[in-house]
Amino acid sequence: QNFALSASYQVSKKLKLDSRITYYRRDSDNLPTIGYGQSSPTYSLLWSSNHIDIDWMRNPWLAGQENVQQDNRLNRNFDNPYFIVNEHLNTLDRDRIYGNASATYSFDQYLSLTVRGGMDYSSEFRTSRKPMSSTQFANGYYREQTINNTELNGDFLLKYDRQFGDIGVTGNFGGNTMQREYKQVSLLTKKLLV
């Protein structure tokens, strides 16, 4: 989901205000893992014999051992692709808010000052789950990550712009300050009881 707002206001003949803000929300209950690795369903299919009917793997659990032992009898070196798709779960919840506000003051027709502040903040909660009997993690696996990222910017620009006949003179003087903060907390276990 996205929500954006932009506003501009001419306070007086000399002062103008501008602002923009955007909010972004993403909820993903199972992001697929792609590429060359054990957590990708296409990886296990790549190394399976091409004469094997994929429907033979449709039920990822051995009969009578559901949620305990996967059925990967057709290729014991890799997880069943249905087991990967339905049981190797990767979630992501992300909130992000970013925007800026600025004020421009015109002293006269030649000289102006712009002051601006901006922010970009995001917060993520990720989980990764692999059940027992996974080829890589026979006893299961669970990971949680909380990630917060903040960037604050502030700057100013003093601008002089004037024409003297055919000659134009432009001068700029400004500065910027930026502050960044990144925090990550991860919890991980490679052995599950349930």
Q: Quick one: what percent of the chain has pLDDT higher than 70?
A: 100
Q: 22-81: per-residue pLDDT in tens? A: 999 999 998 888 777 778 888 788 877 778 888 888 889 999 998 889 998 888 888 898
Q: What is the pLDDT of residue 44?
A: 80
Given pLDDT bands bounded at 50, 70 and 90, which one contains residue 147?
very high
Model pLDDT, residue 140: 93
Residue 71 near residue 59 (C-beta atoms within 8 A):
yes
pLDDT tens digits, one per residue of 170-183:
999 999 999 999 99
For residues 52-80, one letter each, b for 16 or more C-beta atoms within 10 angstroms of the residue's C-beta and e for the rest, the string is eeeeebeebbeeeeeeeebbbeebeebbb
User: Which tokens is 23 given?
Assistant: 């909010």
Res 129 pLDDT > 80: yes
Measure the CA–CA gap between 33 and 90, rounded to whole angstroms. 8
Reported residue count of the chain is 194
Torsion of CA 139, 141, 142, 147, to 10 degrees: 160
Share of the chain above pLDDT 90, in %: 71
CB atoms within 10 A of CB 93: 14
E-only strand ranges, the chain: 2-10, 15-28, 89-106, 111-130, 141-164, 167-189
Which stretch of DSSP H or E encloses residue 46?
helix 41-46
Q: CA-based diameter of the chain, in Å?
A: 92
